[in-house]
Amino acid sequence: MRAPKVYKTEAIVLKCINLGEADKLLTLYTPKRGKFSAIAKGVRRPRSKMGGHLELLTHSSLMLARGKNLDIITQSQTISSFLPLRGDLWRSSLAIYAAELVDQFTAEHVENYPLYKLLLNTLGWLCETQDVELILRYFELKLLTHLGYKPELHRCLGCSSSLEPTTNFFSPGGGGVLCPRCRENEPLTQPISLNALKVMRFLQDSDYTRASRVRLSAALSRELESLMRHYIRYLLEREVKSVEFLDRLRGEVIA
């Protein structure tokens, strides 16, 4: 059965690139079609009816026509613009980081509805919640679970024994935690405190309602960020581009 020439889908705009004088190339993440790129023709013209509906991080309902190489967006209507993100540079930067993770970790045209729903919910939570960095750690752990990279946090990767309540060691290459004895055979590890291990387990195993009740000290928040950053960098084999901007922005806020 031949696919229809015109189709409709919801989508979250992950990335925008200007093309020519008035067009845009958009990277979209959708419920049933996964990630793919499409062209929005004339969308940068002042009188374009689609312009405001296709901004970065917007959740929209789209009509598309199949093209020879890339599909073309013919109609768009905003479902949610996540307005609180637009006026808050820190929150919007964290949202861009989340979108970049989805973009970097996924291949085109691979459906992953749980991941789509996670990203959509995360954009909403970033609009509402005070502890936005906790949301990001929750998002990272759930994203890794949905993609098959769930870290082992309960048993030692080396000897399979239950982890003792002490300082253990996280191994990005192994995808989990090593006990102090097994860590001697794996030099590229990072210490993980008992509190950090407990929080990561809780976030990994909880729904958002339970996870959002966690309260983190500044030191614990930085430790969790460092652990997740090293693991994600190992999996992607590169740094996430928006991380550098987040670090610079945080430095300016603290200064």
1 in any annotated domain = no
User: Cα 200–205–206 angle (5° rounding)?
Assistant: 100
Each residue's pLDDT tens digit, 111-145: 999 999 999 999 999 999 989 999 999 999 999 99
Q: Does 136 share its domain with 70? A: no
> Which residue positions in the chain have pLDDT lower than 70?
1-3, 253-255
How does DSSP classify residue 152?
Answer: B
Is the separation of the CB atoms in 174 and 155 below 8 Å?
Answer: no
pLDDT at 52: 85
Q: Are strands 6-19 and 59-65 parallel, antiparallel or unpaired?
A: antiparallel
For residues 119 and 34, membership in a common domain is answered with no
Q: How many domains does the chain have?
A: 2
The β-bridge relationship of strands 71-80 and 190-192 is: unpaired
Name residue 248's amino acid.
Answer: R
What's the pLDDT score for residue 255?
43
- Phi and psi (nearest 5°) for 99? -65, -40
* CATH number assigned to the domain comprising residue 24: 2.40.50.140
Q: Decide: helix, strand or coil at residue 55.
A: coil
Looking at the structure, tell me whether residues 181 and 73 fall in a common domain. Answer: no
Q: Which helix (H) or strand (E) holds 61?
A: strand 59-65
| Domain around 211 | 84-254
Is 85 buried (19+), middle (13-18) or exposed (0-12) by CB count in 10 A? buried
SS3 37: strand
Spatial distance between the Cα atoms of 164 and 161, rounded to a whole number of angstroms: 9
Q: What is the pLDDT of residue 110?
A: 97
Task: Enter the tokens of residue 57.
Answer: 């991080």
pLDDT at residue number 171: 97
pLDDT at 4: 73
Radius of gyration of the chain (CA): 20
Comparing CA positions, the residue from 132, 100, 134 lying closest to residue 119 is 100
Q: Among residues 22, 52, 81, which one ends one of the domains?
A: 81
- Residue 204 and residue 85: Cα distance in Å, rounded? 26
- Side chain identity, residue 165: P
Condensed to tens digits (0 to 9), the pLDDT of residues 70-95 reads 999 999 999 999 999 998 999 999 99
Q: What pLDDT score does 3 carry?
A: 64
- Rounded Cα gap, residues 105 and 96, in angstroms: 14
Query: What pLDDT score was predicted for residue 48?
Result: 86
Same domain? 130 vs 27? no
The pair of structure tokens assigned to 162 is 């239950």
DSSP, res 107: -
Do 52 and 113 fall within a single domain?
A: no
Cβ neighbors of 2 (< 8 A, separation 6 or more) are none
Structure confidence at residue 2 (pLDDT): 58
Same domain, 94 and 75: no
This prediction's pTM: 0.93
